């Protein structure tokens, strides 16, 4: 029997079946997935008072709908009132609540004020800039998508991501999702949106990024025109082949939503290659809520080794729109592995809105490493709203290595509840876990609240972990206030502690002020700390001042360490000024075989 054998029946509850478990999505019959009772937690920390939903009063926050439901003020806001709301939201430690407050603030802003608000927040370089820009442009796109796209097109590009249409992300720049803005405009004014994209320069990032979306949207109106557009995309420009393939895929997937059978017949005659596999997977995701049987048939045509990934994407895509139907469908599967993979996708989607229900469902998967991986993913999402509870469950639910996950979630905890997190840290008895937690907490606090990081440092016993923490605090603090860190160093009576603080400053200083970093490094006493600080700063210094970098490298005490540092500097130097680097190599005391190897890299 085909491993993807499914029950070809209407996705309704069977006669006499009782709905139980997660959000009422589960059958009571023995073959269905059932939630396991939450274990009694006996570790150093217990889950918070019930696993909290993302929102207050048991309600899940839907950011897409925020501003359209209860409790959201829709009256126009002055810019100052908007600023006040944003400051209040930024101060909220609970992430889902913070996002709800940000969304509420943006919904109160008049569209005519959005450009001014964007210009103001572009000047802020804090952690909220990208998110606020995304949310403001999304709001602007509701009323004037062309203006929002024109604004986005004028941004300085720091990074870009070119995804597909389904299951592969969309077009993003600087973390900003561009595809939804274009889709909004396309729905409002198809001819104008199409003309805007086609009028962009051939090598424009926006043109390359939006052509697949244009083909997808067009195909739902005119599949032939969409395919013709995709086939005319030139492969001469950089990335042209990829854009062409993604646009053809987008056109076919869009076609499948208009006329599934015709699109399937077209795909059937395509050659069996990676492009076809990608199209089949995208079509299965698009068709999941509309026609799951046909979606599964498409997955059957994908090579067996890749079917599990497609099944997870299938389950996740469907559960985003109808989690009950997706869960019912998974429970009807006769192959346990197929059932398990679809459930993992459902769990992934559920964790965005109902971490508690997703965790209960994940616990009922077959006990193997994949189950633990799924629980890991859910706990990471739960940690955003209830880090204390997430840590407690992780310590008691998971088998095997879990220190990395717990230490990562401890950062969410300390950002929400510093006092509680620090008390928990003090109660830990697992040495390895305590060290990892200390490292993550120190790194976070020294970027956000130096005073609290110093308090935590005082609680740490002498040793390597504390020494590393000193350097981390100095490095992060020096990025915002070098003078304060140098004052801290000068207050130390222990020369080793002082040297470690200065080593952290040198690492940061070497990026922007290599000359000062050079002078400071020279002032350190010879030894391991000096050598360590030099090695950590050489890469940055070699880019801007290779002569100072090679001078520092030559002062390293250990002979082997000195030779390796010199070679690392020369490799960077060769890329920027091969003549000067060659001259130094020829005059150096490096062994002849090392010289020959370095000179071959010119």
Over residues 53-69, the pLDDT tens digits come to 333 333 333 333 333 33
Give the pLDDT band (50/70/90) at residue 48. very low
Over residues 208-263, the pLDDT tens digits come to 888 888 999 899 999 999 999 988 887 766 667 888 888 898 999 999 989 999 99
Give the chain's domain count: 1
Q: Is residue 510 part of a domain?
A: yes
pLDDT at 161: 60
* Range(s) of the domain holding residue 541: 461-602
C-alpha span between 183 and 217 (Å, rounded): 8
C-alpha span between 265 and 262 (Å, rounded): 5
pLDDT at 76: 54
Work out the angle at residue 184's Cα, subtended by the Cα atoms of residues 181 and 187, and round it to the nearest 5 degrees.
Answer: 150
Q: What are the tokens at 176?
A: 């900003």
- CB 386, CB 97: distance < 8 Å: no
Q: Is residue 472 part of a domain?
A: yes
Residues contacting 250, CB < 8 A, separation 6+:
164, 165, 212, 213, 214, 215, 216, 219, 226, 230
Q: Is residue 572 part of a domain?
A: yes
Over residues 71-96, the pLDDT tens digits come to 444 445 688 888 888 888 877 766 67
Give pTM, 2 decimals: 0.58
Select the more confidently predicted residue: 286 or 180.
286
Lowest mean pLDDT among 129-138, 337-346, 577-586, 591-600: 129-138
Q: Is residue 566 part of a domain?
A: yes
Give the pLDDT band (50/70/90) at residue 343. very high
- CB 551, CB 529: distance < 8 Å: no
- CB 565, CB 556: distance < 8 Å: yes
C-alpha span between 224 and 58 (Å, rounded): 48
Q: Is residue 69 part of a domain?
A: no
- CB 22, CB 319: distance < 8 Å: no
C-alpha span between 504 and 446 (Å, rounded): 12
- CB 303, CB 333: distance < 8 Å: no
Q: Is residue 574 part of a domain?
A: yes
- 581-588 — which CB contacts under 8 Å span 24+ positions? 581/546, 584/550
C-alpha span between 88 and 298 (Å, rounded): 49
Residue 476: φ, ψ to 5°: -70, -40
Q: Is residue 398 part of a domain?
A: no
Q: Is residue 191 part of a domain?
A: no
């Amino acid at each position: 029997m085909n491993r993807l054998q499914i029950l070809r029946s209407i996705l309704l509850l069977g006669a006499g079946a009782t709905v139980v478990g997660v959000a009422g999505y589960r059958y009571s019959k023995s073959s269905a997935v059932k939630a396991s009772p939450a274990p009694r937690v006996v570790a150093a920390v217990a889950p918070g008072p019930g696993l909290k939903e993302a929102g207050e009063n048991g309600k899940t926050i839907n950011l897409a709908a925020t501003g359209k439901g209860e409790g959201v003020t829709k009256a126009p806001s002055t810019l100052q009132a908007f600023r006040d709301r944003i400051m209040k939201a930024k101060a909220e430690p609970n992430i889902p609540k913070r996002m709800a407050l940000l969304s509420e603030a943006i919904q109160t802003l008049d569209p005519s004020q959005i450009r001014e608000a964007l210009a103001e927040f572009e000047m802020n370089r804090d952690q909220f800039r990208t998110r606020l820009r995304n949310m403001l442009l999304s709001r602007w796109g509701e009323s004037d998508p062309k203006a929002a796209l024109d604004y986005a097109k004028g941004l300085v590009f720091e990074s870009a991501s070119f995804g597909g249409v389904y299951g592969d992300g969309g077009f993003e720049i600087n973390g900003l999702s561009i595809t939804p803005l274009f889709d909004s405009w396309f729905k409002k004014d198809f001819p104008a949106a199409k003309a805007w994209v086609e009028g962009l320069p051939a090598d424009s990032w926006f043109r390359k990024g939006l052509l697949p979306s244009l083909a997808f949207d067009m195909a739902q109106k005119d599949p032939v025109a969409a395919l013709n557009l995709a086939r005319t995309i030139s492969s001469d420009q950089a990335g042209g082949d990829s854009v062409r393939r993604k646009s053809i895929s987008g056109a076919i997937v869009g076609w499948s939503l208009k006329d599934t059978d015709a699109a399937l017949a077209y795909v059937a005659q395509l050659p069996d290659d990676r492009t076809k596999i990608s199209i089949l997977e995208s079509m299965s995701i698009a068709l999941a809520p509309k026609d799951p049987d046909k979606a599964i048939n498409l997955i059957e045509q994908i090579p067996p080794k890749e079917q599990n990934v497609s099944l997870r994407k299938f389950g996740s895509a469907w559960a985003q729109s109808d989690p009950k139907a997706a869960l019912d469908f998974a429970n009807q599967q006769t192959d346990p592995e197929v059932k398990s993979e679809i459930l993992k996708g459902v769990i992934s989607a559920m964790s965005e809105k109902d971490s508690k229900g997703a965790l209960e469902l994940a616990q009922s998967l077959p006990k193997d490493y994949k189950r633990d991986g799924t629980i890991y993913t859910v706990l990471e999402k739960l940690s955003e709203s209830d880090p204390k509870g997430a840590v407690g469950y992780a310590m008691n639910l998971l088998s095997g290595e879990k220190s990395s996950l717990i230490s990562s979630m401890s950062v969410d905890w300390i950002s929400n509840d510093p006092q509680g997190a620090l008390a928990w840290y003090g109660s830990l008895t697992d040495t390895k876990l305590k060290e990892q937690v200390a490292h993550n907490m120190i790194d976070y606090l020294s970027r956000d609240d130096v005073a609290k990081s110093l308090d935590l440092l005082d609680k740490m016993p002498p040793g390597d972990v504390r020494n590393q923490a000193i350097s981390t605090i100095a490095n992060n603090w020096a990025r915002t206030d070098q003078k304060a860190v140098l004052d801290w160093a000068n207050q130390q009576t222990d020369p080793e502690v002082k040297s470690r603080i200065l080593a952290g400053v040198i690492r940061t200083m070497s990026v922007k002020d290599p000359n000062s970093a050079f002078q400071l490094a020279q002032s350190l006493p010879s030894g391991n700390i000096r050598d360590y600080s030099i090695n950590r700063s050489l890469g940055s210094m070699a880019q801007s001042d290779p002569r100072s970098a090679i001078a520092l490298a030559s002062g390293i005490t250990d002979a082997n360490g000195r030779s390796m540092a010199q070679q690392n500097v020369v490799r960077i130097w060769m890329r920027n000024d091969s003549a000067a680097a060659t001259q130094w190599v020829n005059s150096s005391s490096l062994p002849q075989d090392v010289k020959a190897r370095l000179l071959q890299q010119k």
